[in-house]
Chains A and B, each alone.
Chain A
Amino acid sequence: MGFVRANRTGLAVALAVVVAAYVAYAVDGTLTSSLLGFAWSFAVPLVLAALVGVLGERSGVINIGIEGQMLGSAFVAFFAAALSGSMLLGALAGMGTGLLLGAFLAWTTVKWRMDQIIAGVVLNIVATGLTSFFYVQGFTLPQVMPSIEVPLLSSIPLFGPVFFTGGPFSLFAIVAVLVIWFGLFHTRWGLRTRAVGEHPHAADTAGVDVVRLRLLNVTLAGLLAGAAGAYLSMEASSTFERGFTAGRGFLALAIMIFGAWHPGKAMLAALFFGLMSGAAAQLQASRVVDIPEQFVNLLPYVLTLVVLAVAAGRVRPPAAAGEPFVKGDA
């Protein structure tokens, strides 16, 4: 019961969304499932990237280099798979790249206390520069990413085919949300992580190794950024292009804020963005209303503004996010 009381609003919203989805499904099944499919494919990299932001800021490190982490990972994943002929190797290489770039951010900002914003910008610029420079045309993936059907869950009407049938990375995103949600709020690691992000000196006094925990969290979050990148180049598409991530890493930061630094809410927020984007495409395609495309395409942005304006002031970032920790310097 405690869980229900603590998450009253979230659960009510989730329930309303599910009911609305099924009502829509009953009215027009094809349209609803294709729209939800668009929303989820759009949301997967945003969910993973928002989790990177959540993990970082919850432990006190602002990560605006997510875009760069994703871009670098997408690049390495694609070319590792294309050159080696192994999808598995590509996926691992992509995630490994995310991890490495995460470690770069962790060591520069936590260990050497470089300005977190600047370190993130450096990451973005370096990733953009290197991937553009080394990009060559004409490579293809050895095969199409296999699709997995989760037993039982995939047979749920509407939601099953969308969420529980898909490539490994979209399924991984769901698992990651659940694991991090549980981890942050129900384990010792989570409590310590939040303490380090809210009040590192208190955590330090209580015997938590602040620097070590921050290094660990920011580095491991890189794995998720790597998965997001590999998802883009291996699962959502089968290609890589210069500037491929198209600002998704920055959108993820907005989603992190909209989702109040909470994994579950961030996932809902990402789905909301995906749904709006899908709706914009759908309105153009089916031409139910005859208004110029430019206005239809404004829809996601206008709604984003409205939603962020409503959310602003209601959410609070972790208190120590952005502040390097210096032992004894309270």
Chain B
Amino acid sequence: MKLARTTAALSGVVLAATLAACGGSTGNPNAGGGGGATGGAAPAGDCSSAEVFCVGMVTDMGSVDDKSFNQSAWEGIEAAAKQSGAQTKYIQTTDTKDYASNLKQFTDKKYDVIVTVGYVMAEATTTAATANPQTKFIGVDQAQAKVTDNVAGLVFPEDQAGYSAGYLAGLMTKTNKVAQVLGMQIPPVEKYAKGFEAGAKAANSTSNVSIVYHPAGDNAFSDPVWGANAAKQQLAQGADVVFGAGGKTGNGALGEVAKAKGAGTSTYCIGVDTDQWLTVPEAHPCLVTSATKLISKGTSELIMQAKDGKMKGGDFTGDVGLAPFHDFDAKLPPDVKTKVGAVVKGLSDGSIKTGVTLG
């Protein structure tokens, strides 16, 4: 009897954990029933006709105004639409299980180009592309291991963005200790981390760079409390520049550094992916800059290529850079800014190599 009860209770816990995980994606401010909400410019023409150029976007989990990947990609689409007169529309994904059905809404209406956002949607994108060879697909952050003719993966040299940020950190640190609080150990994050380390060492060969990844797989990017905790641990051990690269987990680290004594005067933080000055207001006291991927630019370039029939399957490398310094523009020593600017330039023209390889 007792055994049965314990088993029942335990299976209940497992069930609850599973259900909670599934339930995690049900909510979205603009979500309708089923696959998700749609929005964007009102469709006028028929996308199946050759004259009307239609671009659709399926967001990753989260809304289109997330001030991050989704929003950047959408802005790129809007920019391209302005140039090409395309008709645009987006679908917000509210559940990872809906990727395929959201894609199908666009393929059924014969959209010309479909943009999918995020590393996790790569598989669904390839599947839809194989089934719809006439449609062009653009996968943001989706490296193409195998070339599919009608899929362009928009990828970024994260190691270069990390390198510039690390170079800045290497110049700023007084304690010679620089910390990184990272999300899941997947290729884009690893490239940031290794690039950052290489950059910091290049600026200051005696600097000590730590790399800490979140331990758990499924919530590695959505655990700001752990990020804050890990940052606190590193600060206590003398780190004075912290690179938070791991979605919301990294944001937690930025928030913690902002609370530390000397934030903005002797202790600094650096954000990632987009200009986090705009996304993480609580980090303003310490946020010097962010290592960014220029998603809008890459997306819009690829759409124009598709429009002209020049888009090729495989990887398309977008640009990376550093976000503006905002309030720190006046606080950073001019020679630091000059040196970092030179590094950013050197990386983009190829005269500086990060030397990062994943293996």
Inter-subunit contact A247/B219 (CB<8 Å): yes
**Chain A: interface secondary structure?**
helix
Q: Which residues of B contact A253 (CB under 8 A)?
A: 13
Q: Which residues of A contact B251 (CB under 8 A)?
A: 239, 241
A284 vs B282: C-alpha distance when bound (angstroms): 27
Inter-subunit contact A64/B6 (CB<8 Å): no
Closest chain A residue to B235, Cβ basis? A34
Q: Which residue of A132, A239, A294 is within 8 Å of B224 (Cβ)?
A: A239
Question: Could you say which of B20-28, B158-166, B311-319 contacts chain A?
Answer: B20-28
The number of chain B residues with a CB under 8 A from chain A is 57
- Which of under 10, 10 to 19, 20 to 34, or 35 or more describes the interface residues of A? 35 or more
Q: Which residues of A contact B305 (CB under 8 A)?
A: none
Flag B248-284 by CB within 8 Å of A: 1 or 0 each. Answer: 1001100110010000000000000000000111100
Q: Which residue of A38, A68, A247 is within 8 Å of B229 (Cβ)?
A: A38
Inter-subunit contact A246/B222 (CB<8 Å): yes
Shortest beta-carbon distance from B297 to chain A in Å: 23
Shortest beta-carbon distance from B4 to chain A in Å: 11
Contacts beyond the supplied A117-B9, A232-B225, A236-B229: 19 A-B pairs with Cβ under 8 Å: A34-B237, A41-B228, A45-B225, A64-B13, A65-B16, A117-B8, A121-B12, A129-B27, A140-B282, A144-B259, A237-B224, A237-B225, A242-B222, A246-B223, A247-B216, A253-B13, A278-B229, A297-B214, A319-B2
Q: Is B304 an interface residue (CB 8 A)?
A: no
Q: Is B44 an interface residue (CB 8 A)?
A: no
A247 vs B2: C-alpha distance when bound (angstroms): 26
Shortest beta-carbon distance from A251 to chain B in Å: 10
Closest 3 CB pairs of A and B: A132-B27, A133-B27, A117-B12
Shortest beta-carbon distance from A302 to chain B in Å: 11
Shortest beta-carbon distance from A27 to chain B in Å: 14
Q: Which residues of A contact B229 (CB under 8 A)?
A: 38, 41-42, 236, 278
User: 26 A–B contact pairs at CB < 8 A?
Assistant: A30-B236, A31-B237, A42-B229, A117-B8, A117-B12, A117-B15, A121-B12, A121-B20, A128-B27, A130-B27, A137-B279, A140-B281, A236-B229, A237-B224, A237-B252, A237-B255, A238-B259, A242-B27, A246-B219, A246-B222, A246-B223, A277-B226, A284-B211, A285-B237, A297-B214, A319-B2
Q: Report which B residues bind A (CB closer than 8 A).
A: 2, 5-6, 8-9, 12-13, 15-17, 19-20, 23-29, 31, 66-67, 179, 185, 210-216, 219, 222-230, 232-234, 236-238, 248, 251-252, 255-256, 259, 279-282
